[in-house]
Structure 1
Amino acid sequence: MGTCEHCGMMLIKKSELSYEKKENMKIAFYLQDGVEVLDFAGPMEVFAYAGFDVFTVSETKEPIVSQGILKIVPQYSIQNSPKADILAFFGGNSEAAFSDEVVKWIKAQQDIQYHFSVCTGAFALAKADILDDQTATTFHNALNRLETDFPKIQVVKSVRFVDNGKVISTAGISAGIDGALHVVAKIKGFNTARRIAYHMEYDKWIPQEGLLLSENPYKGYIDINYINDYTGIYEYTNGKSIQLYVDSKDSSLYARLDSQDYPLFYIERDVFTDLNEDTVKFMRDDKGIITDYKIGDSVSEYFKKLN
C-alpha cells in the first residue's frame, strides 16, 4: 500500500484491521437531525475497524444536518431498516429527536444483543424503557435531567461508560470512543480493542474508567501479577536495543524502539504477539528469571535481556 507522503507511516487497508475472523455483527446507528459529530463518528471508526457491519438509520430518509455543518443522508428509515444485532443512539438535539414513532420502533426491534448509547443518546433508551432498573450515564450537563425524568434509572456520574451486560451507556462526546472500544473488547477481545486504539492513535483509553457491572473482558490481561517480569532493556536486530515497559493506562506491555512505542499483546504466560501478529516468546532460566526472547515460531535467533 506504500507510505504516507506527509509522515512516512505505512498505509494499510481498513480490511487488514479486522483481526478477528468472527461473523460480523450488524450495528444500526440511529442518527437524528442535529446529532453530535464525534458522538457517532468516533464509535463508527472503532466498529468499522473491528469489522462490524455498520449502517445508518433515521426517522425518515430525508437528509439530516449534524451541528449545522455536515449533511448526512441516512441509508434507511425506521420503516425499512434491516435487522440489527446492536442498536446505537447518540446525542445532539435529544429533547426533540426521539419522537413517539422512534420510541415505538426501538421497542419493536427483536433479538437485539446489545443496546449502546453515547452522550444524550441515553434518552432514547430511557424513553423506550430499556434503561429501567439499569445503571446508566450520559453527558455531564444532562445527568440531573436523566435522573429526574426517569427515576427508575440508577444514574452515575464521573465515569466514562457503564456496562450492565447487554446495555452500555457512555458519557458525552469523546467518551463514545471509550465505550465502543469496550464493546469491541466484550465481543472480540481486549487485544483486538487495543490494536484498534493503537491504529486510531487514541491514547486516552483507560479501561478502568468504566463501571463494569457484568463480565470483565480485561480480566486476565490487565491484572497479570507478573507483567513487570518482562520489563527491561533487550537486544534487538541490527545491533539496536529495545525497551519493554508497562503502560499504567492499560496495564499492558509496550516496546519502545527508536523513540516510538509499539504494543505487545498478551496470549499466555511468556507468550505475546506483536503488531505483525508474530509470536514473541520469552525464555526463563531455572530460577524463573527471564533471560531472552525470540520473535516468530520458526526463528532460532534469541535476543538477550541486558538489564
Structure 2
Amino acid sequence: MKKTIENLILIFLLFFIINLNLYSFNTGVKKKVAILIYNGVYLLDFCGPLEIFNDTMLDDTSSAFEVYTVSPDENSIKSHTHTLIKPDYTIDNCPQPDILVIPGGNLNLTRDNPEVAKWIVEVEKKSEYVLSVCTGAFILADLGMLNGLEVTTWYGAREKLKKKVPSIKICNDKRFTDNGKIVTTAGVSAGIDGALHLVEKMFGKETALKTAKYIEYENFK
C-alpha cells in the first residue's frame, strides 16, 4: 500500500510539472533567467548561456525565456577581456528568476561581497535551477551549495575545487553535471551545453535541438 501511494505521488508530481510547462507555453508566460555579471567575469561564460536562452523559441513568435543580467550595483562591469557591460538590474531590484546563471571569473566574489553571497542564497531558494559555468562552481562551493554533489568545472581548476570541497565527486569526462536543481558545467564553452540541457529539461528535446541548430552548435545531440 505504501509503495502504491508513493507511486501515485510521483505520477501526480510529474503530471503537475508537465502541465506547468504547458501552461507557460499556452499563456505566453516566459521563464525568467538571471545571469550574474561582475568585474572579471569570463565573457563566453555568460554570453554562451545568454545566447541559448535568448534564442530559444516555442514557436515562430514566442520566446521561451526572458533573459537579463544582474550585477552587484548599477555601474558597468568590466569583463576579463576589459569589455564594459551595463547590467539590466542590480541585486537590489532584480526580479526573481526561474534560472540563475553563475559564470566564472572572480573566485573571491562572494567572500569580497557578502551582499552578493546573501543575494545568491536567497534567489537559489526560490529558483527552479542554478547553472554554474566554468569556475562559477567555486562561487557555489563557497556558499556550501555543492556539498556531496557530482560536479565539474574548468579542467585546470578541478583539483583545486576537490580540495576545497572534499565531499564532491569531480567528473572529468562530462561537459555538464545534473544534480536536479544544480547544474554545473566544464570550462567556458561548456556553458552552452549546460544551457541547452536546461532548455531540454524545461521544454523538451526538440526545442533544445532547434536552438542548437539555430546557432549552428553541433556538439549537442
CA separation in 2, counterparts of 1:23 and 1:135? Answer: 32
Q: How much does 1:56 deviate? A: 0.8
Q: Determine if contact 2:32/2:98 at 8 Å carries over to the other structure.
A: yes
Matches within 5 A, 1:271-286: none
Structure 1 position 107 matched with structure 2 position 113: no
Indicate the structure (1 or 2) with the bigger Cα radius of gyration: 1
Which residue in the other structure is 1:43 paired with? 49
What's the secondary structure of 1:119's corresponding residue?
coil
**Contact 1:181 1:197 (C-alpha < 8 Å) held by counterparts:** yes
In structure 2, the gaps of 5 or more residues are 1-24, 57-63
SS in 1 for 2:108: helix
- In the alignment, is residue 70 of structure 1 matched against residue 76 of structure 2? no
For 2:218, the aligned partner's letter is D
Q: Kindly provide the amino acid, as one letter, of the partner of residue 95 in structure 1.
A: L
Give the conservation status (yes or no) of the 8 Å contact 1:27–1:87.
yes
- TM-score, L = length of structure 2: 0.79
**Map of 1:31 onto structure 2:** 37
Structure with greater proportional helix content? 2
Offset, 1:138: 0.4
> How far apart, CA to CA, are the structure 1 residues paired with 2:212 and 2:171?
26
Counterpart CA distance in 2 for 1:35 and 1:152 is 27
Q: Distance in 2 between matches of 1:117 and 1:111?
A: 17
User: Structure 2 counterpart of 1:45, which letter?
Assistant: E
TM-score under structure 1 normalisation?
0.58
Shift of 1:100: 2.4
- C-alpha distance in structure 2 between counterparts of 1:116 and 1:39, whole Å: 11
Which structure's residues are more often strand, by fraction? 1
Higher relative contact order (CA 8 A, sep 6+): 2
Residue aligning to 1:192: 207
Give the counterpart letter for 1:85 in structure 2.
D
User: Matched residues, percent identical?
Assistant: 41
Please give the alpha-carbon distance, in whole angstroms, between the structure 1 residues aligned to 2:108 and 2:38.
9
Deviation at 1:156, TM superposition (A): 1.8
The CA distance in 1 between the partners of 2:40 and 2:138, in whole Å, is 15
Please provide the CA RMSD for this pair. 1.5
Q: Read off the aligned partner of 2:139 and give its amino acid letter.
A: A
- Equivalents in 2 of 1:89, 1:97: separation in Å? 11
Deviation above 4 Å: which 4+ runs of structure 1?
Answer: none
Partner of 2:10: none
